[in-house]
Structure 1
Amino acid sequence: MSTASAHAPAASVAPPPPGPRTEPLLGNMRALRRAPLDYFLAQVREHGDVVRFWLGPKPVTLVAHPDGVRHVLQDNVRNYNKQTRGFAVVRELLGQGLLTSEGDFWLRQRRLAQPAFHRQRLASFASTMVEAAEELATRLDARCAPGAAFDVAEEFNHLTLSVTSRTLFGSDIGASVSRDIGEALARVQAFANARLTQLLPLPRALPLPSHLRMRRDLDMLDRVVRELIERRRADTGTHHDLLAMLMEARDEDTQERMSDTQLRDEVMTLMVAGHETTASALSWTMVLLSRHPDVRRRLETELAQVLQGRSPTVEDLPKLALTRRIIDESMRLFPPAWISSRAALQDDVIGGYHIPAGSFVLVSPWVTHRHPRLWENPEGFDPDRFLPELERERSRFTYFPFGGGPRQCIGNQFSLMEMVLVLATLVSRLRLDLAPGHPFVPAPAITLRPRPGVWMTASRPRAATPASGTGQ
């Protein structure tokens, strides 16, 4: 696939992308609302790597090939901003954090926040992640009675929110506050998901019951976050959590620090993005391991060999090669951030097709990660496709669960470290299996979550035999 280049046709003469038939007024809205995951895949198979849809009167172009994804997210990134409907909804909830801000303001915030996410600083949070995973393992171990099922997706939400609060604020914010925050975040995200699928979203100022509930939830979240920030400003002690790092960061040119409003927006972004996507990825990973006991046995052997019965540490990460590949393959099949939108500022050409100024462009890890011309057996679960020698053969944007280019997720290394440590802790202690009679499906909203949840049972695994080189 060729993207815009000196050899590509000018935007004025390039043809529009192909696409499915539309309905009057609605365009392709009904099909997209009904089953977007299957619909996107089917249209790429039928029409190719650049497909145009219509959301009512608005053209939206899906770009599926890695070359086109790289063009949007990296090579011509200045032509594509986040002033889209999807990000407008997220902006209502999170404010002007790194996920939603633009231009010079975003660049300033990124530079201020970047030191907090350097590998050496992240390593100091490893013990916190393992501690939270051990607490979860202890709770689940108590449920090892035959047939005692639980929703592992809910458990992972609690775990990742606990990790986020401990690493952000230096301590757990308490069970009751954590529960209130988790429930409020769930309702706020459900509200955002509903707005994304409405043809004409109603103004938030209207006093509808759903709007009023959302306002109360946002007010509560704002109050909690601002109180934590105010409490920290009044504290003269030394802290080494993410909030302290953000508060201490200074602009290189002006020496200014973040205002309370900027801190609030970044903390809210980390709370939402930092726990929701990681919890989703861990949930899908447990589903896949339950469905593929051969891979799980290999994982248990690697953990027995590396850990020798102890808890994992940050020093173990390079040795947990299969553990990491399992996480990578899980996010290939079920990327939490399954789709992202951009707005074209000027006319462009992608794959030989005209992208008009003002239109929206979609890039979707869900689609690209399952592209049959890019991946052998794309629907299959095979962690070994992420062996180093195979990874070197793939172009950069064949796999992009954390986005790419300058706007790549700043917390990707934090999330990967957390997922590997949590998975190693749990699987070395417990074997989780899907409970019969509890169906679930991937629900494509802001994140790709299993709905209505993932019910599993816990048992204690047989001792795995360490074998030299296994799992590498």
Structure 2
Amino acid sequence: MPVLPSSPPLQLAPNFPSRYPLQLLRRYRRERLTMIEEARAMGDVVRLRLTRGRTLTLVFAPEDVEHVLVTHASNYDKKTPGYERLRDLLGQGLLTSEGDLWRRQRRIVQPLFKRRQVADFGPTMTDTARALAADWELAADSGQPLDVAQAMNHLALEVVGKALFSADLRGESDDLGRALHTALQWFMSLLTIPIPGYVHWPTPLNRRGRRAVRWLDQTVHGLIEARREGEQPDPPDLLARLMQATDEAGQPMPDKLLRDEALTMLLAGHETTANALGWTFLLLAQHPDVAAQLEQEVDAALGGRAAEVADLERLPYTWQVLQEGMRLYPPAWVIARRSLGEDQLGGFRIPPRSNVILCQYAIQRHPALWPDPTRFDPSRFAPGWEQSQHRYAYFPFGGGQRLCLGETFARQEAVITLATLVQRYRLELVPGQQIVLEPSVTLRPRDGIRVLVRRRG
């Protein structure tokens, strides 16, 4: 009986070119986005060897993203270096937990983010946007520039502080923002320092990072303790709802997990929305034709008042503008997973325990998926756009079972804020500044976005 020839074994994906891996690591620390786009030009799957023991498998095809997040999600977990470090900050919140704990927590938390529940926080979002619009009168009068990225961070912290804790964080937003920023800088630095045990060294960076995490811990624990000893807010905020919720056995969430979920919501609930708004304001300042079309919709829908939840259906172009902003500058710019068993992506072998990186930033700017990919064009997201695009050509909120629970909250807050501010003001970029992208946990402008505030009309 003849022996049939067997199929040749699958090969590993091609390596990003470099003679010395440490050179790649140094460059990756400085030029992550440039390197990722260079890798995308090499093919759909590329290996990036940063150190002898650390190789990233970069993925650029929507079909492979779906494979990892949906169809073969059971073969991938979050035990990557990035998530291991993030657990040092966030503990076992929904963003970082796994397995049975994640499923238990998601069953408790998911109902809090249904559309009807999120609508309860609409008045908070409207009031906060209205207050910021009033504050900008001073900038419009004085002609002094302001940092719109910082302004959006403060606004988003105020919103999440009120929604989560019923707390007015206006006086603390600078301290809170600095502590979060310091903790995240520490987190990103640790990812690119390939020295075992470096996290425990008494360096200035490690000391600052630990101080920031301790401060955040004390702040969140203090808010939880104050809630246990005081009256419950009416209507209940997210913390009250978390404390009232029980699992299938009727057990409430332990204090440690309450802290982890609260800190996760504090980070995810302000960092992503703030950056989405900041980048969108940058794009509108660079594209006055889009800004003019947006102003027409806002004027017709609102007639001079601040936006509310009931206005969302009358502001479809406003959401398109934000979607296009998140396509070009996705707040979550990559998603990391680790393969459990051997797999294949793009026709290449993926060994067990591979660090697989799904590159939103590069996929959402891929010329094969998006014509004229760097052009700011909100019409790409006109009704029905999903029918002409792969589901994972655009995934700023992730996908699969781990789809971001806060998507409805973020959309509601972003549309209300953008419409309320655009109705009263146009922003002009301060000439001569260089906008530098900083790919940290989220994609942020490293030095801010300085603008001049002009009253419309």
Match of 2:60 among 55, 64, 69: 64
Q: TM-score, normalised by structure 2?
A: 0.95
Could you list the runs of 5+ residues in structure 1 that have no partner in the other structure? Answer: 1-8, 463-472
Structure 1 counterpart of 2:389: 394
The 8 Å contact of residues 279 and 329 in structure 2, kept in 1 or not, is answered as yes
| Alignment partner of 2:324 out of 316, 319, 329 | 329
2:443 alignment counterpart: 448
Aligned equivalents of 1:386 and 1:392: distance in 2? 11
| Cα shift at 1:258 | 0.6
1:418 alignment counterpart: 413
Distance in 2, matches of 1:80 and 1:23, equals 31
- Corresponding pairs, count: 450
- Aligned match of 1:301: 296
Native 8 Å contact 2:297 2:317 kept in 1:
yes
Q: Once structures 1 and 2 are overlaid, which stretch shifts more, 20-29 or 308-317?
A: 20-29
Residue 204 of structure 1 deviates from its aligned partner by 2.8
Mapped partners of 2:47, 2:319: distance in 1: 36
Tell me which amino acid in the other structure corresponds to 1:211.
N
Please state how far the C-alpha of 1:196 moved relative to its aligned partner: 1.9
Aligned to 1:363: 358
- Check whether the contact 2:279–2:325 (CA below 8 A) recurs between aligned residues: yes
Give 1:174 shift: 5.0
Please tell me the root mean square deviation across aligned C-alpha atoms, in Å.
1.6
Q: What is the Cα deviation at residue 35 of structure 1?
A: 1.3
Q: Deviations over 1:75-125 (max 9, x none)?
A: 111111111111111111111111011111011001110111011010011
Separation in structure 2 between the aligned mates of residue 78 and residue 376 of structure 1, nearest angstrom: 34
Counterpart for residue 354 of structure 1: 349
Q: What corresponds to 1:468 in structure 2?
A: none
Task: Tell me if the contact between 1:385 and 1:391 (Cα under 8 Å) persists in the aligned partners.
Answer: no
1:303·1:428 contact (CA, 8 Å) conserved in 2? yes
Partner AA of 1:317 in structure 2: L
User: What is the deviation of 1:205?
Assistant: 2.7
Aligned counterparts of 1:162 and 1:390: Cα–Cα separation in 2: 33
Question: 1:376 corresponds to which letter in structure 2?
Answer: P
- Which residue in the other structure is 2:178 paired with? 183
Match for 2:31 among 32, 35, 38? 35
- Structure 2 SS opposite 1:204: helix
The answer to whether the 8 Å contact 2:276/2:330 transfers is yes
> What SS does the corresponding residue of 2:199 show, helix, strand or coil?
coil
- Within the candidate set 278, 284, 287, 2:282 is matched to 287
Give the match for residue 377 of structure 2. 382
Residues 195 and 311 of structure 1, relative CA distance in 2, 3 Å threshold: same
Task: Give secondary structure in 2 for the equivalent of 1:143.
Answer: helix
Q: SS at the partner of 1:212?
A: helix
**Equivalent pairs: percent with the same residue?**
43
CA positional deviation for 1:146: 6.0
Which runs of no fewer than 5 residues in structure 2 stay unpaired?
1-5
Residue of structure 1 in register with 2:134 after alignment = 138
In the alignment, the residues of structure 1 paired with residue 306 and residue 154 of structure 2 have an alpha-carbon distance, to the nearest angstrom, of 20
Which secondary structure state, in structure 2, belongs to the residue aligned with residue 459 of structure 1?
A: strand
| Structure 1 partner of 2:400 | 405
Distance 2:238 2:82 in 1: 27
Mapped to 2, the partners of 1:338 and 1:438 lie a distance apart of 23
CA distance in 2, matches of 1:173, 1:359: 41
1:235 Cα deviation after fit: 2.8
Is 2:242 the partner of 1:246?
Answer: yes
Q: Distance in 1 between matches of 2:55 and 2:217?
A: 36
Take 1:337 and 1:112, find their aligned partners in 2: how far apart are those partners? 24
Q: State the secondary structure of the residue aligned to 2:176.
A: helix
CA contact (8 A) 2:122 2:413 kept: yes
Q: In the alignment, which residue of structure 1 is the partner of 2:3?
A: none
Which sits farther off after the overlay, 279-288 or 20-29?
Answer: 20-29
8 A Cα contact 1:27 1:54, kept in partner: no
**How big is the shift at 1:38?**
1.6
Q: Does 1:170 align with 2:166?
A: yes
Deviations 1:144-168 (A, max 9, x none): 1364101111111111000010000
**8 Å contact 2:76–2:340 — kept in the other structure?**
yes
Shift of 1:214: 1.8
Report the CA distance between 1:31 and its aligned residue.
3.2
1:14 aligns with 2:25: no
CA contact (8 A) 1:141 1:430 kept: no
1:115 equivalent among 107, 111, 125: 111
Compared with structure 1, are the counterparts of its residues 284 and 242 closer, same or farther at alpha carbon in structure 2 (3 Å cutoff)? same
Contact 1:72-1:80 within 8 A present in 2 as well: yes
Q: Which runs of 4+ in 1 moved over 6 A?
A: none
